[in-house]
Chain A
Amino acid sequence: MSIDYSERIPNNVDLSSDKRLQRALEQWQPAFLDWWGDMGPDGWQADDVYLRTAISTEPGGWAQFGFVKMPEYRWGIFLADAVPDRRIAFGDHKGEPVWQDVPGEHRNALQRIIVTQADTEPASVEQQRRLGATAPSLYDLRNLFQVNVEEGRHLWAMVYLLHRHFGRDGREEADALLARRAGDPDNPRILDAFNQPCVDWLTFFCFTTFTDRDGKYQLAALAESGFDPLSRTCRFMLTEEAHHLSVGEDGVRRVLERAAELERLDPNGDVRKHGGVDFATIQKYITYWFSYSIDLFGSEVSSNAANFFASGIKGRYREEELDIDHVALTGTYRMSTPVDGRLVDQDVPVRNAMNELLRNAYIEDAEKVVVRWNRAMEEVGTTFRVRLPNPRFFRRQGLYAGLPFDFEGNLISAGEFEARKTEWLPTDADRAYVTSLMHGVFDHGKVANWIAAPKRGINKMPADFDYVRRDV
């Protein structure tokens, strides 16, 4: 179904046929715009930004590009097309027709999942709201805003589900999504990683590489859901999310490439001397955000995850297309478990290991990103190689939370961890140095010194195109 842009709220869900819902969402819309004004990008709201807007849910040509003022962006509600006669693909209800309405017994769990996912969308916009001032180029500035408006669109997608399917509770939760604030100790966002400050662009690139990639896997698992409206919503969101990941991956690669260039320039290979970010610091940022992001998958052994799977509301990555045991009642997953100061292999029922399985799929994907970065490093002739820490390293959630593991995942003493953590994680001095490099570069075709220029532009436009037309 094509998208109806004649409506106040663009949508492909035939909103005009449900007047009650339409009214409710039209009441939420000004609150959203107020939130965007208060907590969206700080500045540039009156400028023309070259943004893509979803115009259809067809796989090819789903978006159009053009200059838009951000507050006028057409945030709307788009679901991927329904699959005829879709069946629940896994769990206790496997083979039954998917649900078009929320089953009462799964209402609370579904609501919690949707609210938790939804909360990350405005949270990341809030975390990134001051980054515009220090953008390394107009190209990057535009990418930031593209990510921001699409996170806003994802919020709309989730709010639609809450309004459409969860009654008064859903409407209250939708309001609460606009009331919480990332990093506010009294009113924080639900998940920890979304309360961490995002004050520099290296953090932004790491965040979009690793934390948004968690989003991709969560959305993919929910795209398998037996609750069809959630599945269709997530399938379309995944299309948009892919861009965010490439912004991150490309950004980190450009910082790495610039470091390699500056390394060559200096007889001692001192990158910082030439105003770049040295490899060690980049590695530490990657380590930090990778570790923070894999926390988002939840406990390694989880009865919640087992329940979500059993009840058919959250599947595994590519559950439907893979030839695996979709009931997963038998079988175990072997997990390295800390017991009395050492790691012991323990077998956990597969259903209880669902978080870990999703995390593993994510890690596999993240490893591929690292391979691509390292290929780029090889091409520019540096010996430096990016590495991901062991998933046990520096965890705050789950089996390994708070335990002293080294970068390779070996259990070490707390004292040794304290002594060595600055080898692995950014120090205050590292952060201060990165922050000191952050100055906005907004001139035509110019790029900040600490990052390589983009290789190509957006939508076949040149890289040095003025993606943001500043209203000066």
Chain B
Amino acid sequence: MADAPFTPVPSFESHPSRYRHWRLTFADAVATLTLDIVEENGMRSDYLLKQNSYDVGVDIELHDALERLRFEHPEVRCVVVTSGQPKVFCAGANIHMLASSTHHFKVNFCKYTNETRCGVEEALAESGQRWIAALNGTAAGGGYEMALACDQIYLIDDRSSSVSLPEVPLLAVLPGTGGLTRLVDKRFVRRDLADLFCTKAEGFRVKEAKRYGLIDGSFPRSGWDAGIQKVAAEVVAASPARSAQGIVLPPMECVTDVDSRAYKYVRTTIDRKHRTATLIVSAPTSPPPANASALRAEGAETWSLRAFRELDDALCHLRFNEPTIGLVLVQTEGDAESVLAHDASLDGLAGDWLADEIRFFQGRTLRRLDNMSKSMFAIIGKGSCFAGILFELALSVDRSYMLDDPDGEVVVRPSVASSGRFKMQTGLSRLENRFYAHADQLAAALGALGQSLSGADALDLGLVTIAPDDLDWDDEVRIAVEERVSLSPDALTGMEQNLRYVGAENCETKIFGRLTAWQNWIFQRPNAVGEHGALTLYGAPESPRFDWGRT
């Protein structure tokens, strides 16, 4: 099947009043998210979203709901995910959409949906919002994976609804949103039983699903609503009450041009000729909120949240809509003192739900940055402000170039923000990741937190990669950029992902690393996407034919 022409994702924003696929309703501390997809409402018109199957448009709304639940509805302690359609919860990612999408779109789609699933787990870990999957019909593939991201899974006992991961037997690809990993690493399903489950296309109904630990419980149709309500009530009763008054997340303001996106604090500019994007984050221009009520009053306008919401949005646009841009030059500008002051304000309010939520959001955005499939260089030059949390940007990227400024103006100011507050997916801070197994270097770097460091100092401490002086600066940076964009984008992506993350694996790193690596290989292989591949022929009259060679 030929790839569909490149279709940009027009927006990563949504709002419950505009949801086309979900309904978000509230009853005290319980929110219910109901998936009810109209077949014709897909992002492209070349497929129908049958059986509550989803595309990225559906996931953008889910992501929106996830963020709004945390910021706008902090009172919510239990989120019930269910379906508005009879007999089907969700059939997973739409196969025809996948089969007709470009490779880069498929990968970005998987990554984005994975980040959202991980966000569901973070909502519990960080904010005590416990998600319950109320499967009132069959959950197949990505549908069951959505459930696996939830804390508890209930399946209706109507003698026909089932849970399944049919990707391998039906499509010759893998479950793409962490299903395999979460089976064995999260739900602790025994590996051989998981093997049985993942090769049985129609999956298991209540009895076997319970026996194998694929679900936590079930209710018959007549007792379904009451049963789920009871579970939700128990979840609420078992978790501490949370603040009742949220803040509003307003629409993002962004001036766009063919080659640029300008938010208030974030700006991206595309250089198509050199396949490079410049991403600039600006420091705050106003003083930080003085106390919790001032923070509440500023709400989503406060720099610490607004700048990172904008950064998050800008990263999504770069990923999906700029497939040929291979290198992102990360820069900052403005007053470093102001950044540090805003950081300090949030530090002082630690324990306040909103201050904490903003911190968590910053953490998620930084992890989204870690996880870009593009090369990233930090360019630390005149007027920059890699201070406090913005220094984390310089620690996230693949390389950093810092001007060794004879005038002493260019400095970096790592702070307590780099001392372990913001973890990578591995659970390590970016400094721990950087100085893995070098305790002395880590100690030296930690000892320098709070100081203003020149290019030479930073180079000495290992906090930047290269620190040319002003004679070499322009050429060094130009040559580095030109060299980088000349290399194979595939090899670079693989190399970067290998180098960026050190240390032990966990559920999350496996989901992104191991699974997407295999999936991306399989997505390229003729057995899936060749002329006679299973994904290509899904729904077509012809049966797939495999190349039986095995590595």
Contact = CB atoms under 8 A, between A and B. Distances in A.
B525 interface: no
A362 to B, nearest CB: 22
B200 interface: yes
Given A185-B221, A188-B158, A310 B543 contact: yes
Contacts of B157: 186
B541 A187 contact: no
Nearest to A307: B543
Contacts of B435: none
Interface residues of B, number: 18
Interface in B163-184: 169
A177 to B, nearest CB: 11
A195 to B, nearest CB: 11
A112 interface: yes
A329 B158 contact: no
Contacts of A92: 543
Interface string B526-550: 0000000000001111110000000
B202 interface: yes
Contact of A180 (B159, B220, B539): B159
A66 B209 CA distance: 48
Given A108-B202, A185-B222, A187-B220, A176 B159 contact: yes
B159 A303 contact: no
Interface in A284-332: 303, 306-307, 309-311, 328-329
A186 B542 contact: no
Contact of B160 (A190, A349, A351, A352): A190
B201 interface: yes
Nearest to B545: A92
A307 B537 CA distance: 11
Given A176-B159, A186-B158, A349 B540 contact: yes
Nearest to B223: A186
B222 A186 contact: yes
A350 interface: yes
Nearest to A311: B543
A349 B223 CA distance: 43
A310 B541 CA distance: 7
Interface residues of A, number: 23
Nearest to B539: A303
Contacts of B542: 310, 329, 351
Contact of B540 (A108, A186, A306): A306
A187 B218 CA distance: 13
Interface string B126-158: 000000000000000000000000000000011
B541 A328 contact: yes
A112 B159 contact: no
A190 to B, nearest CB: 6
A186 B223 CA distance: 8
Interface string A108-123: 1000100000000000
A350 B541 contact: yes
Interface in B439-491: none
Contacts of A328: 541
A302 B220 CA distance: 29
Interface string A175-193: 0100110000111101000
Contacts of B159: 176, 179-180, 187-188, 190
A107 B159 CA distance: 20
A351 B540 CA distance: 8
A185 B219 CA distance: 12
Nearest to A354: B541
Given A185-B221, A185-B222, A188-B158, A108 B538 contact: no
Nearest to B95: A303
Contacts of A186: 157-158, 220-223
B93 to A, nearest CB: 16
Contacts of A309: 541
B201 A108 contact: yes
A179 B206 CA distance: 14
Candidate in A112, A185, A328, A350 with the most chain B CB atoms within 10 angstroms: A185
A179 B169 CA distance: 29
A328 B222 CA distance: 45
Contact of A351 (B158, B200, B223, B541): B541
Candidate in B157, B159, B160, B541 with the most chain A CB atoms within 10 angstroms: B541
Contacts of B541: 306, 309-310, 328-329, 349-352
A307 B544 CA distance: 10
B92 to A, nearest CB: 15
A440 B307 CA distance: 80
Nearest to A339: B40
30 contacts: A92-B543, A108-B169, A108-B200, A108-B201, A108-B202, A176-B159, A180-B159, A185-B220, A185-B221, A186-B157, A186-B223, A187-B158, A188-B158, A188-B159, A188-B160, A190-B160, A303-B538, A306-B539, A306-B541, A307-B543, A309-B541, A310-B541, A310-B543, A311-B543, A329-B541, A349-B540, A350-B541, A351-B541, A351-B542, A352-B539
Interface of A: 92, 108, 112, 176, 179-180, 185-188, 190, 303, 306-307, 309-311, 328-329, 349-352
Q: Which 7 A-B pairs give the minimum distances between C-beta atoms?
A: A351-B541, A186-B220, A303-B539, A349-B541, A310-B543, A306-B541, A185-B221
Given A176-B159, A188-B160, 5 more contacts: A108-B169, A186-B222, A187-B158, A190-B160, A306-B539
